[in-house]
Amino acid sequence: MKVIVDQNKCVASGQCVLTAPEVFDQREEDGIVVLRADTPPQGLEDDVRQAVALCPAQAIWLEEQETKE
């Protein structure tokens, strides 16, 4: 899973930070999303999916990556 954010779409609601603070942060000056990890640590995938669903501006999306076995 790869996380992608569009800072130009972000409305600084902070839902992503509340849902997955290990992956998302906000700029101090205006609250716009900052991506801390574009590939979330294992075990946080559900939190990241929830953050995507909660984003009112639809400024976050995912690219699912195929796992190599």
pLDDT at site 34: 97
Asked if residue 66 has pLDDT above 80, the reply is no
**Tens digits of residue pLDDT in 16-65:** 999 999 999 999 999 999 999 999 999 999 999 999 999 999 999 999 87
pLDDT at 67 over 70: no
Residue 65 is predicted with a pLDDT of 76
Q: What angle do CA 13, 41, 67 make, to 5 degrees?
A: 115
| Coil vs helix vs strand at 10 | coil
Asked if residues 2 and 38 have their Cβ atoms less than 8 Å apart, the reply is: yes
| 9/23 Cα distance (integer angstroms) | 18
Q: Which domains does the chain have, with CATH numbers?
A: 2-63 (3.30.70.20)
In which band, very low, low, confident or very high, does the pLDDT at 12 lie, cut at 50, 70 and 90?
A: very high
